[in-house]
Amino acid sequence: MNMLQILQPEGWMRPRGYSNGIAASGRTVCVSGMIGWDAQGQFHTDDFAGQVRQALQNVVDVLAEANARPEHIVRMTWYVTDKKEYIAAYKEIGIAYRELIGQHYPTMTAVQVTALIEDRAKVEIEVTAIVPE
């Protein structure tokens, strides 16, 4: 049985778009950092939000291999190459996120990095999911 509990300390401001903490039990599924290329390693856009959409789709596809769904995600880490570009794309990112992940907001960390290994990549997203056993 999967047990997922959102951790929201009393009196804390509710975070927007993520959770402060999650306690969960079940089978752990770890997904490597996914970037904005397709299954054949081809980029179709240099648009930041477009790469986020593809990276999220890649996450969903890998999760499906473990019979996991987006609502099983308990942790996301986003690596972005340009903080300002990320912030400017919030609206489009939100649309893609809700379409692919839904109204589920796991714990999340986003950090700006100097570069990613793939030169065209603007974002890399890794996740941990806990799936019911």
Range of the domain at 12: 3-131
What's the pTM?
0.93
Q: How many domains does the chain have?
A: 1
- The CA distance from 133 to 126, in Å, is 22
pLDDT at 13: 92
pLDDT at 104: 92
pLDDT at 51: 98
pLDDT at 82: 98
Taking 50 as the pLDDT cut, the residues of the chain under it are 1
The angle formed by the CA atoms of residues 41, 58 and 83, to the nearest 5 degrees, is 90
pLDDT at 132: 84
Q: How far is CA 25 from the centre of its chain?
A: 20
| Closest of 60, 80, 75, 65 to residue 121, by C-alpha | 80
Supply the CATH number for residue 46's domain: 3.30.1330.40
| Closest of 13, 12, 64 to residue 34, by C-alpha | 64
